[in-house]
Amino acid sequence: MTFDKSTLSPISKLGDLLELVIDYRGKTPKKLGGDFTDAGVPVISAIHIKHGKIVWEERERFVTKEMFLKWMKDPLKKGDVLLTSEAPLGEVALVPNDEDLVLSQRLFALRTKSELLDSNYLMYFFQSSLGQEELKGRSSGSTVIGIRQAELVNIAVPCPPIAQQRVVGEVLATIDAKISANEGLSKTLEDIAQTIFESWFIDFDPVKAKMAGEKPIGMNAATAALFPDSLEESELGLIPKGWRVGSLGEIADLQGGYAFKSSSWTESGVPVIKIGSVKPGFVDLTQVSYVDAPTAEAIPDDYRIPAGSLVVGLTGYVGQVGLVRTHHPVPLVNQRVAKFKLKSGEWKIPFIYCFTRGEKFKGIVEELATGTAQQNVSNSQILSIPMAIPNEHIREMFDNSFKPFFQEIINLADENESLKSTRDALLPRLISGELQIPEEMLAS
């Protein structure tokens, strides 16, 4: 979506709206006479800025307080806008508080003149099509596309009155806050299911409680009665009496992904889940490739992955398991990613999801994987993983109890897709000034 920028909000150079540009790109502890440490002041780089947030999941690094003081001549402040300068260009987030933080590779920090430019508004400007076009238009490089500070400060920013900017930022931030709240609730539901699964089927806490003459914690009498009151030896060690040793392959099968040709990929269309799409616990549909509709229509239905499906990575991220959480669009699955197929209706997703998300499963997969440059595991190896199989009534109790949790996770993901669509539709229109803020909102 594009607009005639000359007829909408007044345009200003970014540099005229900034109090400070912090640019410590290229600085490292080695150059300053030190090194990274295992604890201390966190170091933030471009890898940590994703989808408008700071994400610490990858490569956490630290420096000492002394190194921080030597490095950060201008400490970051709450509300500073962090912008990636390359690899990738244009990811953005706000500094959440005034705690010490070291600005590292491929990042700018921008401090606005608060009377001229709202930092929330600036963050959303960079996320909009207008902001992305400005960044790309002033970028350079062939292998790695990036932007220099001298070009960054000349970016044209639509600059309505500050009151309007603040309302725009608040409206968009409210939508993002709801998205974050839904994501937090989804994680809580998953964590509850995982904790109870580990207690029942890995640690055997209800059995141990009954052995000690105690009532299993948080369990009613009918559920407690389903568990035995003793353990017995097995090839897996002690397991509840009456349970048996089996394998994952007894309750599920794996369907390998489709072997797409390299010529199949397009810029948009039907999403295809690849290795990098499978994140811990979920499938990230922002990290996919695409094929066009005619190509997708020719692919057999077995390679379509509806909401509620569970997939596992077979190469690189071996054993990484993710749940497809949204109905639209229905993605396809690429080779070296496999979809779990249930062998019996009594085995529902909660049990298999929780088993394959556990530390024991991941440890066994790592032992089974082969390869030096890149780890690989086969369908048969995953399906051979042993497990203590409880009786049918306990399985049904767990699956029936937690099926609503997983349905709610899918519902929340669908709601988030709708919220994101609303936000993404509003974003360019609000930033450009094409959609005006009502006077009553400005007054409040």
Per-residue pLDDT of 26-74, as tens digits, reads: 888 888 888 999 999 999 999 999 889 998 877 789 999 999 999 999 9
Q: Are residues 252 and 155 in the same domain?
A: no
**Cα–Cα distance, 313 to 347 (Å, whole number):** 21
Structural domains counted in the chain: 2
Q: Quick check: is 431 in a domain? A: no
Lowest model confidence (mean pLDDT) among 7-16, 151-160, 397-406: 7-16
Of 358, 389, 420, the last residue of a domain is 389
Task: Check residue 4 and give its pLDDT.
Answer: 45
If asked whether residues 268 and 154 sit together in one domain, one would say: no
Residues 6+ apart with CB under 8 A from 313: 275, 278, 319, 320, 321, 336, 337
Task: Clarify whether residues 154 and 11 are in a common domain.
Answer: yes
Please report which confidence band the pLDDT of residue 1 belongs to, taking 50, 70 and 90 as the band edges. Answer: very low
Among 348, 365, 389, the domain boundary falls at: 389
In this prediction, residue 6 carries a pLDDT of 46
- Token representation of residue 337: 């990613």
Residues 151 and 31 reside in one and the same domain:
yes
The predicted pLDDT at position 342 comes to: 80
Q: Does 149 lie in the same domain as 29?
A: yes
pLDDT, mean of residues 359-385: 92
C-alpha–C-alpha distance, residues 123 and 143, integer Å = 26
Q: Do both 154 and 27 map to the same domain?
A: yes
- One domain, residues 153 and 252: no
| 201 occurs within a structural domain | no
Token pair in block for residue 210: 């009954």
pLDDT computed for residue 435 by the predictor: 81
What pTM, to 2 d.p., does this model score? 0.84
Q: Establish if 89 belongs to a structural domain.
A: yes
Domain boundary among 137, 159, 181: 159
Residues 252 and 379 in one domain: yes
Q: pLDDT at residue 442 above 90?
A: no
State the Rg of the chain over Cα: 26
**What's the confidence (pLDDT) of residue 444?**
60
| Residue 69 is assigned to a structural domain of this protein | yes
Predicted local confidence at residue 344, as pLDDT: 66
397 within a domain of the structure (yes/no): no
pLDDT-wise least confident of 80-89, 160-169, 184-193, 279-288: 279-288
Q: What is the pLDDT of residue 345?
A: 54
CATH number at residue 305: 3.90.220.20
pLDDT band at 443 (very low <50, low <70, confident <90, very high): low
Same domain, 12 and 134: yes
Per the prediction, the chain carries an average pLDDT of 91
Task: Confirm whether 148 is domain-assigned.
Answer: yes
Given pLDDT bands bounded at 50, 70 and 90, which one contains residue 8?
low
> What local confidence, expressed as pLDDT, does residue 241 receive?
96
Domain boundaries, position 256: 248-389
Look at residue 104 and tell me if it is in a domain: yes
Are both 12 and 129 inside the same structural domain? yes
pLDDT digits (tens, 9 = 90+) for 308-327: 899 999 998 899 999 998 87
- Residue 413 within any structural domain of the chain: no
First to last CA, the chain: 30
